[in-house]
Structure 1
Amino acid sequence: MSLPFYFSLCFIFSLSFILPPPSLAANDTVPCPLNITVLRVVGGGARPSFDSGTQCHYILQALHLLQADYLRRSNLFVPPLNASESCWTSFQSFINEFDPSIDIRSSCGLKTEWISQGCMNITTKQQFEATVPTAAIQAVQGNCNQSLDNNSPCALCTTKISTLLSYLIGRTVGNVSDCRAYTSIYAASLSDQYGATDPGTAKCLFGLDFSSPGSSGKRRTIIIVVSVFCFVALLVLAGVWTYIRFKKRNEFGGGKGVGKSELGLGLGSGLDSMNQSTTLIRFTFDEIKKATRNFSRDNMIGSGGYGNVYKGMLLDGSPVAFKRFKNCSVAGDASFTHEVEVIASVRHVNLVTLRGYCTATTNLEGHQRIIVTDLMENGSLYDHLFGSSKKNLSWSIRQKIALGTARGLAYLHYGAQPSIIHRDIKASNILLDHKFEAKVADFGLAKFNPEGMTHMSTRVAGTMGYVAPEYALYGQLTERSDVFSYGVVLLELLSGKKALQTNDDGQPSALTDFAWSLVRNGSALDVVEDGIPEPGPPEVLEKYVLIAVLCSHPQLYARPTMDQVVKMLETDESVPSLMDRPIPFIAGRIDIEKSALSNSGQLCSPTGYQAYTLQNQRKSICKEDEEEEEGSSVADTVTTE
């Protein structure tokens, strides 16, 4: 053997110890620290139900669940960069057990390194807690370190989580774990007992429901049988109770006087059970009369198709608003119960808070239905843009209102369980507190939307100028119907113009068409109202205009989700390119919308609820929405221009 050949062999042999294997040399890969077993434990061998349109969302949520477990164990939000390839490989293997056809990275548009990147370059628990005020962290720890299996604890936890987002306003790297995901990951990591392996946590914070169809069907059957039995028992008890009460009333002369009566049978049972599971207060009619000075006209602050709104003061000095329903028919009971149920089921800083309710029947006033909410000192957005108290809001306030409204809607769509579609987003339903924090209000038309279902309805409800085209045309109702309405409100907020206007020929024109024509011609900034105090940077103003036009696009799937809207508003994320619009369709949209709304029995003025004045009153007819009932009832809608 020659000497040069011998040295060559020695050199190659020594390199085999110095250099890593080819796979590691190429990717610098280390084992993935994420524990895939967590998904098997919490799922019990099942996978959450989803379709092809939502699979990427649920896949990322499952990954966030693994990150929560990793954060609890290591105080790290994301795995190291040199573990990114092995983590994707492990996660892909788990997904393949259920659907081998899904290639996570190619199907969902994810880059390998994004699994190790996230919100504001925050990687550790200490960095996250240093970014958010201690009080907000303590609130999350106090409300999320418990079982989240029931709606009430889940609502409290998600409400506290939502407040963290206002402090996480930096840039997100990639699209795997954004700042919103970080808040849920942090909350899920707090508890050893009710952490990432708890089904309640998976369902509440990440929307992952691993219940198998078979067990769900059996459970549903049991619930139906028990419900029918309880319903029959209640009917029998109600009949006995009614007979005894009727007999006593006859014996004592019918109970003359102004005194209060009990709740109606069906309504009472529903609200009473709700009252036991929430902090709602059931006020007496006399308490409300005293608080409103016997419903004095001086205390009236608004009116609408449902009735009037009064301001008042509780005994503890708290200023509140009393929404007094008109009770022209029994249908008012169903509408009232529905609105109480919707508002009581959600808690969020950007949603109006329900204090309590009152139901009573008196000989003088008749049947009464009243909702008690926090009083918004600054009225509605409509008041400031178009009302008698019109003010030229500064850009910082407009920006705050736009973001707050978006957050409130995003919570309704993705934070509430089940999700809620508002259906009547407009400037008059955006209330403003003393700090001009936006509160989405008036849930009289809201619909629960379990498991992302799409409603098809022959009865369209809403307000002209704000109703999404697919809803007005075909009765197709989804969360993106609210996105369209939000886009219209955002355009009103930016431009100071109403959703529907009258052109020089006396014909109605839509603000969405006006804004689109300017954006199409490269003049997006011309949409913004002149003379805004303390205007923002031109690039920010233009971005908001583009978001508004994107949200109000006539085609359903061209619009973003409210989660995506919040992300665009909060971060430096760019606005997607705008799809072209079908001009002939847009030209006739107002006529289509008017026809759909009038035929459906829900024609309302765009002004809706607003500040009450005595001048220029006019009446319009606003039928109550009764999609699930036969017939319809008619109530007067008093509005002022």
Structure 2
Amino acid sequence: MPPQVALALLLLLGLRICTTPSLSASSTGSCPIDFSFVSSFYPTTCQGSSTDQQGPPSSACCLTAFNTFGLGIALYLRESHIFELPDNRTLYACYDAYQAVLIKTGLQKFSVLDCQQFSNSSHFIRSPTLCGGIETVEDWQSKVGVTAMDSSCKGDLSNSAVCQVCYVDALLAFSIASNISVNNSDCFYFVALYAAGVINEFGPTNPATAGCLLALEASTSNHNRSHHLATFVAVGAAIVVCSLCVIALSTWLWCRRRQQLYHQRFVSRNRRLLSSTLQPNVGAIWYQFDDIKLATNNFSTNNLIGSGGFSVVYKGIMPDGSQVAVKSLKNCTKEGDAEFSNEVEVINSVRHRNLAALRGCCVASNTSLGHLRLLIYDYMPNGSLEDYLFQKGKPVLEWADRERIAVDMARGLAYLHMGVQPAIIHRDIKANNILLDEHLNAHVADFGLAKVTLEGMTHMTTRVAGTQGYLAPEYALYGQLTEKSDVYSFGVLLLVLVSGRQALDLRGEYPLITDWAWVMVKSGNTLGVVDGRIRDTGPAKVMERFVLIGILCAHLLVAFRPTMAQAFKMLQGVVEVPQIPDRPLPLTHDGLLNFDGNSSVSSMPSIGDPRAYTEDLLR
């Protein structure tokens, strides 16, 4: 071990014990160490400690004297295979023996107990708390094992290059030993003792061994010692710099690897989530993220075609020239797993001309974009029905187109309810989830909230989800979900399509379109529900039929609503629209309207304030 490191270690030990009370120097034991070697390692820094010295010895003198005493401990280790002395009495007997030799060398006024380094006996007495409980050579070999130091520190260390190699390997041995000890400085001290007292074949009293490993030089070699000190300072500084660089690089690589594992775990979890849903060569496929990134121009805002509370939609052009809509789900947490897997599973299990077709999926995660769950659909050039009806700059939707869209929507929903087993309840039928292709054909989309019904169950109770204004009362208030809940939402959507009015408009007297349309119908102005811009462009009877079907489907009482299959046939004119059953008073009306004498509210639960009921529906 190089001198400057050993000195730094001893200084560290001195600082640790500076507040420890001094022990009595009296001793009745015997010392097992022969200190006759001290005359060959006269502590030149203590030359001033003569008969005329006043005050305590200098710190440099104390450190050199402490190192020389440590050489005696290394000699004791070599002979007994034990790192420390057995007890306090033995230690103070060795202090007395060491003191006597120092006096013979000319240090008459020097006392080891004047140095703080000697006042703490814990460094030289066996203890299970020192360096992970290493007390003997056998303990060292068992806990630390054979290291490179066992070879490099074995021979003659008089050559500075050989000593440097030994020093580097000693540092490596220290790093191994420090892993088993809370107190690293004790292990550093043990490394020096073991290298000098056990490994080196010339022993610790050899001048080259003492100079290299214990920072001691024979009293006649001051010039060589200074040379060694300068060499070791340079080597030590270089090793410290290199070590810091290695630590910094290792930390950076560790952080990078940890981040990569974080992203990889997300991708793996989502692939496992859909492993049973997406099968090779069946239905939807897995897309490579690089292909989607290229198709959307790295998710450029110029490709953004829609944004909602749960997703963002980009237009993309695939390598084969086909246009796609890339839906990026916003909720990529574990809580969003159910919605993601549900949408993929439901839409991938059905195929119908009026249902949006899922082309595939993509899951990715990186530092720049974060977690990504992507659903790839066929691109619909005319966007959503919501956009076409209410976006400025769009042409007025003609009656013939509205009629076809209504039939398409009904056909798609009827297929979900009757065409597949078990039936699927969409739960979020609204204008924004109806997509229009280049021919204005309608496609029902967004199956993130869809529920698959259980066989034999007439209804299920579930967490309420959907869009205000489109929710059926029994579902919004009590969480009771049936196919008739979709029928209600379809009725609202049909009224929106026919009238060109939003489902929920808080600015008007009747916020809910169902209340407004009901009042219009009951007042005998059924045709007044139709959008005034197209009212004269189609058959009045057909328009009125569509309005009545919307009223019937959106009836407050579940039993009075038709099935989607029945509603589909009514829209086609195959089945006549039955007489509209009376319903409770408009939910947003302040008072009782004077309907005809057949009006009845006895079939609804008693509600004190109609406005309060309306507020419940709008929550």
Aligned-pair CA distance for 1:428: 0.8
| Residue matched to 1:67 | none
Q: 2:274 aligns with which of 271, 274, 279?
A: 271
* 1: CA distance, partners of 2:468 / 2:356: 23
1:354-433 alignment runs, 5 A limit:
354-433=358-437
Q: 2:547 aligns with which of 542, 545, 561?
A: 545
Check the 8 A contact 2:489/2:554 in 1, yes or no. yes
| Residue matched to 1:581 | 583
Aligned-pair CA distance for 1:351: 0.4
Q: Is residue 473 of structure 1 aligned with residue 481 of structure 2?
A: no
* 1: CA distance, partners of 2:463 / 2:617: 8
Matched positions, count: 348
1:83-482 alignment runs, 5 A limit:
254=257, 261=264, 264=267, 267-276=270-279, 278-327=282-331, 329-451=333-455, 453-457=457-461, 459-482=463-486
CA offset digits 1:455-503 (Å, max 9, x no partner): 4436211111110111112211100111111111111111111111234
Relative to structure 2, which stretch is displaced further, 370-379 or 510-519?
A: 510-519
1:593–1:367: structure 2 CA closer, same or farther, 3 Å change rule? farther
Aligned-pair CA distance for 1:280: 1.5
* 2: CA distance, partners of 1:384 / 1:251: 52
| Residue matched to 1:527 | 529
1:416–1:404: structure 2 CA closer, same or farther, 3 Å change rule? same
Aligned-pair CA distance for 1:298: 0.7
Partner SS for 1:310: strand
| Residue matched to 1:518 | 520
Check the 8 A contact 2:529/2:547 in 1, yes or no. yes
1:484-495 alignment runs, 5 A limit:
484-495=488-499
* 2: CA distance, partners of 1:356 / 1:462: 25
Partner SS for 1:367: strand
Check the 8 A contact 1:454/1:477 in 2, yes or no. no
Check the 8 A contact 2:469/2:618 in 1, yes or no. no
- Look up the equivalent residue of 1:554 and give its one-letter code: L
- Look up the equivalent residue of 1:451 and give its one-letter code: E
1:256–1:540: structure 2 CA closer, same or farther, 3 Å change rule? closer
TM-score (normalizing by structure 2): 0.53
Aligned-pair CA distance for 1:542: 1.1
Aligned-pair CA distance for 1:341: 0.9
Relative to structure 2, which stretch is displaced further, 417-426 or 256-265?
A: 256-265
CA offset digits 1:268-323 (Å, max 9, x no partner): 23412222262222112211111000100010001112231000011111100001
Aligned-pair CA distance for 1:250: 8.7
Percent identical among aligned pairs is 51
1:583–1:414: structure 2 CA closer, same or farther, 3 Å change rule? same
Check the 8 A contact 1:308/1:325 in 2, yes or no. yes
| Residue matched to 1:168 | none
Check the 8 A contact 1:419/1:452 in 2, yes or no. no
- Look up the equivalent residue of 1:417 and give its one-letter code: Q
CA offset digits 1:75-115 (Å, max 9, x no partner): xxxxxxxxxxxxxxxxxxxxxxxxxxxxxxxxxxxxxxxxx
Partner SS for 2:342: helix
Aligned-pair CA distance for 1:364: 2.6
Check the 8 A contact 2:515/2:587 in 1, yes or no. no
CA offset digits 1:44-72 (Å, max 9, x no partner): xxxxxxxxxxxxxxxxxxxxxxxxxxxxx
1:283–1:391: structure 2 CA closer, same or farther, 3 Å change rule? same
* 1: CA distance, partners of 2:269 / 2:617: 33
* 1: CA distance, partners of 2:512 / 2:618: 16
Check the 8 A contact 2:305/2:313 in 1, yes or no. yes
* 1: CA distance, partners of 2:586 / 2:277: 49
* 2: CA distance, partners of 1:545 / 1:405: 15
Partner SS for 2:455: helix
Partner SS for 1:413: helix
User: Structure with the greater relative contact order (CA < 8 A, sep ≥ 6): 1 or 2?
Assistant: 1
Check the 8 A contact 1:395/1:534 in 2, yes or no. no
1:593–1:286: structure 2 CA closer, same or farther, 3 Å change rule? farther
TM-score (normalizing by structure 1): 0.51
Partner SS for 1:339: helix
| Residue matched to 2:51 | none
Check the 8 A contact 2:519/2:586 in 1, yes or no. no
* 2: CA distance, partners of 1:433 / 1:338: 24
CA offset digits 1:396-454 (Å, max 9, x no partner): 10000000000000011111222111111111111100011100011111111133634
* 2: CA distance, partners of 1:383 / 1:452: 39
- Look up the equivalent residue of 2:486 and give its one-letter code: D
Give 1 or 2 for the bigger CA radius of gyration. 2
CA offset digits 1:367-405 (Å, max 9, x no partner): 211100011110011111112343211111000000000
1:378–1:569: structure 2 CA closer, same or farther, 3 Å change rule? same
Check the 8 A contact 2:587/2:614 in 1, yes or no. no
| Structure 1 portions without partners, runs of 5+ | 1-248, 599-641
> Over aligned residue pairs, what C-alpha RMSD do you find?
2.7
- Look up the equivalent residue of 2:257 and give its one-letter code: G
1:362–1:405: structure 2 CA closer, same or farther, 3 Å change rule? same
- Look up the equivalent residue of 1:459 and give its one-letter code: R
